[in-house]
Structure formats: C-alpha cells, structure tokens
Structure 1
C-alpha cells in the first residue's frame, strides 16, 4: 500500500506541474506557489520511494515512520491549498480552450495528490501505532497554518474597515496563543501525566472560534452587499501588477482558515477518543 500511495502521488504531482508548465498555463508570480508545491512534493516523494526500495529506511528505525507522517500530512495540506487557490486565481485569467482544460486537469490531479497524501498519513498512523505522534503533528500544523494567516493579515487594510473582520483577527490570535501553550507547556503527546482534557477543551474552543471566522471572513471580504469584492479583476492593486494583491491575500486567509478549521476538527476527534 505504501508503494501504491507513492506511485499515485508521483503520477498526480508530475501530471499537474506538467500541465501547468505547458500551453502557457503557468502565469508568472501568481503560479509560483502551486508550481513549487507540486515540484517539492514530487521530488521528496521520489526520494522517499528510492529509500524504501533500497531498504535504507531500516537505518532510521522508528524516526522514518515519524518522518513519513509529518511529510505526508504537510504535503496533503499544501496540495489542498494549491488545489483551491490555483483554479480560483487562474481560471479567470485564462481563455476557454486548451489552456482552460489544462488548468482544470491540473487542479483535478492536485486534488488527487492531496487525497493520496492524506490516505497515506492515516494508513501509516494505523499500521505503525503512531497516533500520539499524529496528535502532536496536528498541533504543529495548526500553529504553522496560523503563522501563515498572521503573515497575511499583517496588512491592516484587510480588516480594519469592519468589526466582524477584526473579530476574525482576534480569533486567529487567540487560537495561535492556545496552540503554542498546548504544544510547549502540555505537549499533548498522550502521556498519562499530561492534562489531555485541557487539550480537548482547547480544541473545542478553537473549533467554535474558527467556525465563526470561516463564515465571517469570506462573507465580509467577498460579498458585494456587505462591502466585499467578489472578483479579483475589480481590485485596483491586482490591476496595478502586484504579484500578491489585496484580493489574493484575502483569498489566502479564507483558504487557510478553512484548512485550519478542518485540522482542528480532526485534532478534536482524535484527542477526545483518547480520554
């Protein structure tokens, strides 16, 4: 099954980056993140497959399984973000025809890659009894995604014009602080001496907060009736030629919010099962 997942990941990422690189579907600057994601995942997956075919993983002992869980979970996350952001930003820039079809196909293969990485993560956890490490990994992913969100919202122009968006910023900050406390002070590694119920209640609180942000942020950023901008072409900063304009930052925050909400839900389900 491990080889099957690797081959599926290699095929899907290779096809996705090949489709984008051909037929002038790769638009400079705004395509760099998607291309980097697929290339990085393809190279690292290929190296891990070579290591296992040569049975070199025996030299790493238990740490190899931890590496696989960390890498596949991270790859599932970044491929999912590329699958969401690439079509939303690019399809409106491409004309119907070969370019449009290539972009749609690349998005589909990127989705397949994210599913393949997620399935391998679950399969590795189940077959190697790494559930406790998986919980710690989820905590690290939550903090990593939150750092990405905080980096985008450093531009106060994104949220200072509406109180609901300020609330979303408060949600991101509060959950980030709670995540750091859980990881550094309590670690949540399923050890009997650690206060796991604290982690569960923190996850419940974070899920509720992120659920509000996942609704309010896109609602007030992209709903025209509430003062939002539903189309990238209407953003003056995008027309000015900036590589990452205001609309792109708003979309990135909305995407990362949805992804982190999903991670918190998975973390809550797994943590609650250990009580």
Structure 2
C-alpha cells in the first residue's frame, strides 16, 4: 500500500477559490450560450465540488490512502478548466457584446480564473506524479496520467463533433465520431478499472502480456487518431468535399467554422498524446521484458 498522498492545503484552497470565482462571475454576467456555456459552468462547478470534498477529507483526517486518486482529479480538472477557458472565451468574449462593459468584464474574469485554476491543478500534477524509480499506482505515473488526458480529450471531441452534426454529416465525419466514442469508452474502462483496484494497474506487478496490451492500446489510438486528423479537416475545410476553406465573413461568436477548427486541433493534440503514451509504454515494455 503506497503512503498517504501529501496534499498542499494552500494549493488546494487556491484551486477551489479560482474555480468558485470562475463559475460565480460567469453566472453573474447574465445569460450564457446554451450547451457550451452550460458545459463550462458545469466543469467549474464540478471541479470546485470535488476539490472541496478533498479539502473536507483533509480537515477530517480521511485523505485517500492512494496517491493516484487526487492526481486523477487534478489532471481531469486541469483539462476541464483549460477547455472551459478556451470555449468560454470563444463564445462569450468575441464580438461586440453590447455597450455595457460589466458583463464582458465578468466573463473575462471567469476566463482568467479558469486559466489560473488550470495552472494550479497542473502544478499539483507535476509536483505529485510518480518520479522514475518510484513504486506507485499506474495512474500516478506519466503514462497513466496520459490515459486520463486522452479520455478527457475524447469526451470533449465527442461533444463538439456531435454538436457540429457529425452523426448526420459526411461518412468520414461519422467515422471520426465513432473513433471519439470508442476511445472515450475504452479510456473510461481503463481509468475506472485502475481506480477500482484492478491489480494489473501497478507496473511493478504487471505481467509482460498486460504491458504489451497497454502498448497495443496506445498504438491503436495512434492509428485511429492518425486517420481522424486527416479525415476531419479534409471534409471540413475542402470546398470540393463540401467544407469551407475560409472563415465566413461576419461569422458570429457561435460560428460553426471555429468549432470545426477546434475539433481539428484537439484531434491533433490527442494524436500527440497517444504517440507519447506509445513511446513511454514501449520503453517500459523493453526495459522490463
């Protein structure tokens, strides 16, 4: 059993306060975009609630004995706050926004608070992750934390692609939607299995076959996202394929073209994440073979 995770209370308090400031200022600014705005506020509220639970557990002396639980929360919250800052600013800070500057200032404060929260959660992950040579649960290692990031990106891509009508769009987009859906489902199974205590999540106890299976999972992700990173822009930005090569003039903050660009970028980011994961997993397989 690994030693209890040491949680720096000032950092945890700063995380909670920044998330609280983000969703409270966003709500005080007035009406927000349905769908995207709801998702951003939900991301801040959930991150705040889970951080508050960890703070209460610390005050009661009942911190999780496993170090991977706070790290998974920190990685997921960092990804959520980063995504919320980008999506919120795209939909609520671009354009005129009316003559009253107070709502715009509040929305800008929400974006800045979300960026601060993402940095604070990221600092926790960098500080507390397993270092080389340490015995730790799989999700506390860089490869395990990459699995959390890959799963969150797949969830974000799934929502954005579905919002763009990928399910009823070109067949290539439906393939991309399927890739995002399957990768998210597999990632949830892997992360949940490790959190629920499946024995093979610790590298020191892993049989070689399991390490190879995780390597195959990363390789499959590279192949799948390698296809998606080509198919999505091909049918989204090529005129002959029914897409739009340039941003339409006078496009509003809710412009679908901007969201297509965001999906393309996030797909590329997840491809890089799977590639790094494959390299790390392959190195561990070779070292422990």
Q: TM (normalized to structure 2)?
A: 0.67
1:16-95 matches, within 5 Å, as: 16-24=22-30, 26-27=32-33, 29-57=35-63, 60=64, 62-63=65-66, 65-92=67-94, 94-95=97-98
**Matched length:** 263
Distance (whole Å) between structure 2 residues aligned to residue 232 and residue 82 of structure 1: 26
Distance (whole Å) between structure 1 residues aligned to residue 237 and residue 107 of structure 2: 23
Instruction: Give secondary structure in 2 for the equivalent of 1:52.
Output: helix
Distance (whole Å) between structure 2 residues aligned to residue 49 and residue 143 of structure 1: 25
Q: In 2 relative to 1, CA 121–39 (structure 1 residues): closer, same or farther, beyond 3 Å?
A: same
Distance (whole Å) between structure 2 residues aligned to residue 266 and residue 131 of structure 1: 19
1:217 aligned onto 2:258: no
Q: In 2 relative to 1, CA 266–103 (structure 1 residues): closer, same or farther, beyond 3 Å?
A: farther
Q: Where in structure 2 are there 5+ consecutive unaligned residues?
A: 1-6
Distance (whole Å) between structure 1 residues aligned to residue 123 and residue 173 of structure 2: 35
Distance (whole Å) between structure 1 residues aligned to residue 73 and residue 213 of structure 2: 27
1:108-257 matches, within 5 Å, as: 108-126=112-130, 129-130=135-136, 132-134=138-140, 135-136=143-144, 138-139=146-147, 142-143=150-151, 145-146=153-154, 149-150=157-158, 157-158=165-166, 161-162=169-170, 164-169=172-177, 171-172=179-180, 175=183, 189-190=202-203, 191-195=205-209, 196-214=211-229, 216-218=231-233, 220-221=235-236, 227-228=243-244, 230=247, 253-254=263-264, 257=267
1:246 deviates by: 7.1
1:267 aligned onto 2:277: yes
Q: Give the aligned CA root-mean-square deviation in angstroms.
A: 4.3
Q: TM (normalized to structure 1)?
A: 0.70
1:33 deviates by: 1.4
1:115 deviates by: 2.4
Check the 8 A contact 2:88/2:111 in 1, yes or no: yes
Q: Where in structure 1 are there 5+ consecutive unaligned residues?
A: 239-244
1:75 deviates by: 1.3
Q: In 2 relative to 1, CA 41–144 (structure 1 residues): closer, same or farther, beyond 3 Å?
A: closer
1:192 deviates by: 3.5
Check the 8 A contact 1:214/1:257 in 2, yes or no: yes
Match of 2:3 in 1: none
Distance (whole Å) between structure 1 residues aligned to residue 256 and residue 107 of structure 2: 23
1:5 aligned onto 2:15: no
Distance (whole Å) between structure 2 residues aligned to residue 67 and residue 92 of structure 1: 37
